[in-house]
Amino acid sequence: MKLITFELASTLVLLLLPSSTDARPAAAAASIAAVKTAPGVIELPLQRLSKRTRTRDEFLAKANFMRAKYGFDTSSTTESRSKRRRRAAGTVTMTAFQDAEYVGTISIGTPAESHSVILDTGSADLIMAADDCKGCAATTNGYSAADSSSSTSTSTSFSITYGSGDASGTLVKDNVTISGYTVASQTFASCTTMDNLVAGNISGLLGLGWQGLATSGAVPLVQALANSGDLPSKVFGFQFKSYAYDKLTSDYMTGGKMTIGGTDTSAYSGDINWVNIDSSKTYWQIPLDTITVGGTDLGISADNVVIDTGTTLIGAPVAAVAAIYAQISGAAAVSLSGSSGYYSIPCSGTYNVAFTFGNVSYAIPSDAFNTGQYDSSGNCLGAIFALTSSSSTGTGSSSLQWIIGDAFLTGVYSAYRFSFPAAVGFATLGSGGSAASGSSSSSSSTDSSSNKSMTSGSTRSASSWTVYPFAFTLGLLSLILSTGFGPGDGPKI
């Protein structure tokens, strides 16, 4: 067993929105037929693309993609998720969208072939472009089922419709390796037709959420590794590097590390502050204690806040957003393409907005709070925006009122624990941190196995994955997975 550390890269996200959160145990068992380990330290290469800048249109696209992902209407022409779920039996509808996110490398098949994938805690499926993908970029490195002796096809097909394009493919099973650990017969989607779904050399998306969130019903790759017992600890963590909006010199910038099997103590100081997730075990959801602006406690709290590495901004209820910007000098409500819920802030300002989780306050980096220029008068856009223009919530669930993305996560070390009690943890960026898992702030229970495996005397090796910020603009799309089963049933694979 070993502790795995990845250096990452950041790019735009392709995400799946499942219409059901049932566990589907039959498919899950098939997707985790075997887990094998390979020895040695694995270094993954860095990539760079051309320079780009941030614009108002890009900000609006990011906001709308987050809204669509979590079931909020983005316009009169965009169906809400609850409406899409009322389609005829025999289809499961998902929504795919993109944002500036983080990319690493996995290998698929026999012989193994490397693919760059977006890393996203806000989804739980693995989606790949096929090698014969029609509509993909010439540089897209697609998955080839025909070239893999371990590939197995399924009877589950799907199609995607959106804007001016479409996509289709099937669910397949194959061996998937992440930094030396292999899950045999992992179920994932292979797209043979795509239009504006991936760009450059990005092959797909690796969801890091829970199985209950997976539309395919498969155990997600990292959760499968945690279930196998082969990891030193059932934990993965992220250190994201923050860049000021006007300091980006490349579409790909070195951005941090991902660690699987424990935490990277060289990336943070002190202890991990663990906060138990909600009992649904779908999203990584935790309670928010309060928010302060300039040291003033706003008395804003929430039972469930989604922690999502697959999005850039921070989405919140209308009243909370207004209260936050009311404390910021020079902030003003603005409209983007006729849509409200956004605020401009002085580009030259320094901002002290902090969220409290588990009785500990964590500040949003000022550079991350400023997302880019709004106008030519020295005003920029703030990273926190209203998910709706009213008091409505997403997908009929009050738990989806807060989505915390990378604007916050770049300011902390974040960790995600599968073992009991399942939790999200934060720590102050730095070095010399404690390797012990510790107890969750919302529970007196501890993960004794994690405590034991992550002591300072551990001799497990680590491998690195490097992270970069990359962005491109795609259209909103809806993904329809044709499975031959009704809502709530498991896929016939």
Catalytic residues: 120, 308
The answer to whether residues 142 and 197 touch, using CB atoms and an 8 Å cutoff, is: no
* CA-angle at 191, arms to 13 and 219, nearest 5°: 70
* CA-angle at 217, arms to 212 and 221, nearest 5°: 85
Q: Which residues of 178-193 are buried (b: 16+ CB within 10 A; e: fewer)?
A: bbbbbbbbbbbbbbbb
Q: What is the CA radius of gyration of the chain?
A: 21
What whole-number distance in Å separates Cα of residue 401 and Cα of residue 424? Answer: 18
What whole-number distance in Å separates Cα of residue 471 and Cα of residue 98? Answer: 9
What whole-number distance in Å separates Cα of residue 39 and Cα of residue 435? Answer: 22
Beta bridge partners of 108: 113, 176
Calculate the CA 245 to chain-centre distance. Answer: 21
* Helix ranges (DSSP H) in 99-215: none
Neighbours of 149 (CB within 10 A): 10
The answer to whether residues 413 and 357 touch, using CB atoms and an 8 Å cutoff, is: no
What whole-number distance in Å separates Cα of residue 233 and Cα of residue 453? Answer: 6
The secondary structure element, H or E, covering residue 30 is helix 25-31
Tokens 């880019």 sit on residue: 372
Percentage helix, strand, coil, to 5, in the chain? 15, 40, 50
Q: Can you say whether residue 303 is alpha, beta or left, with left for phi > 0 and alpha for psi between -120 and 50 degrees?
A: alpha
Would you call 345 exposed, middle or buried from its count of C-beta atoms within 10 A (0-12, 13-18, 19+)? buried
Backbone φ and ψ of 165, nearest 5°: -135, 180
What whole-number distance in Å separates Cα of residue 370 and Cα of residue 364? Answer: 10
Backbone φ and ψ of 91, nearest 5°: -130, 145
Would you call 337 exposed, middle or buried from its count of C-beta atoms within 10 A (0-12, 13-18, 19+)? exposed
